[in-house]
Amino acid sequence: MNFDALTAFDIHTHAEEPCCGPRDDGYDEFQAGMAAYFKNPAGAKGMLPTVQDTATYYRERNIGCVIFPVDAERETGFRRYSNEEVARIAAENSDVMIPFASIDPAKGKAGAREARRLVREFGIRGFKFHPTMQGFYPNDRNAYVLYEAIEEEGAVTLFHTGQTGVGAGMHGGMSMRLKYSNPMYLDDVAVDFPDLKIILAHPSFPWQEEALSVATHKPNVYIDMSGWSPKYFPKILIQYANTILKKKMLFGSDWPAITPDRWLSDFEKIEIRDEVRPLILKDNARRLLGF
């Protein structure tokens, strides 16, 4: 990947569709709920982009991206998109795409072995966690064997934080418990794994100040600004992005729920300093990923 040639780098995109057959029972309702929340009709109509579609979209815009599935099989019953399949397609589109994987921490030592294999054999550069969808506290010691493997392999971790659009407005919130995604639980992880690169995904409503405090205090913690249109960013997030955390903020869209076209258009309209914009849009990700 030639970072110099890219106009921006999106740290947060999803491989949504199961790769091994038709949608699982309940998946249509799940995606319809997501589409309503994000005002994105693609999910409701079963028209979500494939990984290859995503690569084509980003190449047309000269934007690089990280892409990942979410392994929430245990909690949701939905098959995860194969980590190996995502890595294979990303490798075929390596000019614009970097693969992350996802492993449910409940898989314990088996998950740790999978993580090492994915890094060594498939070029996986990081791992996505979604505490609310996966049903775990990030500082649960049962997850530490997986974190240890990721840290030793030199890969990045990316954790969903704050309220999620998953299950929003659905019966019982689709059994999603928001408590798991308080970013303060990542403070423990940052202490216990000081060499593990940790990204806190999204403006962490209603725990924005907790996220800012952890990222300010722990050198290995970053924040991606995905999942919200920038026009809705809280003032304190913009304040920290312009100052003390300007080298730790990352552009992320949350594709396909939010497109980079929409995110970047709204980002142009908020009060981010001229010298900070390139840091958020590309330079911070480049440094974090080692390019």
- Domains in the chain and their CATH numbers? 3-289 (3.20.20.140)
**Cβ atoms within 10 Å, residue 246:** 17
- C-beta atoms surrounding 64 within 10 Å: 27
Q: In the predicted model, what is the mean pLDDT of residues 51-80?
A: 92
pLDDT at 18 over 60: no
User: Residue 75: left (phi > 0), alpha (psi -120 to 50), or beta?
Assistant: alpha
Please state, in angstroms and rounded to a whole number, the distance separating the CA atoms of residues 90 and 97.
Answer: 5
What lies within 8 Å, CB to CB, of 162 at 6+ separation is 181, 183, 202, 203, 204, 205, 206, 207, 208, 211
Averaged confidence pLDDT in the chain: 91
Rounded to an integer, what distance in angstroms lies between the CA atom of residue 43 and that of residue 256? Answer: 9
Round to whole Å and give the CA distance between 277 and 273: 6
Percent of the chain with pLDDT over 70: 89
| The predicted structure's pLDDT at residue 76 | 84
| pLDDT confidence of residue 53 | 93
d(Cα 215, Cα 187) in Å, to the nearest integer?
9
- 45, pLDDT greater than 60: no
Predicted local distance difference test score (pLDDT) of residue 70 = 93
pLDDT at residue number 164: 78
CA distance 274 to 267: 12
- Summarised one tens digit per residue, pLDDT across range 180-212 is 999 999 999 999 999 999 999 999 999 999 999
Q: What is the pTM of this model?
A: 0.92
pLDDT of residue 22: 65
Distance CA 37, CA 34 (A): 5
pLDDT in tens, 224-240: 999 999 999 999 999 99
pLDDT of residue 20: 57
